[in-house]
Amino acid sequence: MFEKLELTRMAQAMASHAGARMGVVSQNIANADTPGYKARDLPDFAQAYQAQGAMKTTRNGHLGATEQPVPAPRSQPAMADPNGNTVSLEVEMVKAVEVRQQHDMALSIYRATSDMLRTSLGRR
């Protein structure tokens, strides 16, 4: 039932994106001392969601959503240490906080949507 609503689909995509981005951030932190490691990141959720095209036309007069995978991580241009590593722990910690806020927002959207549906059905 919930998967047919565009708002819940978007909240699910936002939560998936936050999880994937947190994985990339944690890899960056784990490799902070690895010589030659280049810090990576995913594009912002808004760019990724817009690029995948939330709604695709499957035939005239009919719209259907298609699920797209999370984009691949890309290297971020940054100043390198003498050993060639571009990871900044301060930047990665800021990214981790942003990702957590994004995930919390996705859960709040999903929770609010389900509360509205329950209320409209008289099951509050």
* 14-57 per-position pLDDT tens digit: 999 999 999 999 999 999 999 999 999 998 888 777 766 655 44
- How do 74-75 and 40-41 pair as beta strands? antiparallel
Strands, E, within 25-123: which ranges?
40-41, 56-59, 62-64, 74-75
Strands, E, within 49-109: which ranges?
56-59, 62-64, 74-75
Closest CA to 28 of 15, 41, 43: 41
Site of tokens 């978007």: 10
Let me know: does 4 contact 57? Beta carbons within 8 Å.
no
Cβ–Cβ contacts within 10 Å for residue 109, how many? Answer: 17
pLDDT per residue as tens digits for the range 45-97 = 887 777 666 554 445 555 544 444 556 677 766 778 888 899 999 999 999 99
Site of tokens 């609010």: 112
Number of domains composing the chain: 1
Residue span of the structural domain in which 21 resides: 2-120
Q: Global pTM?
A: 0.72
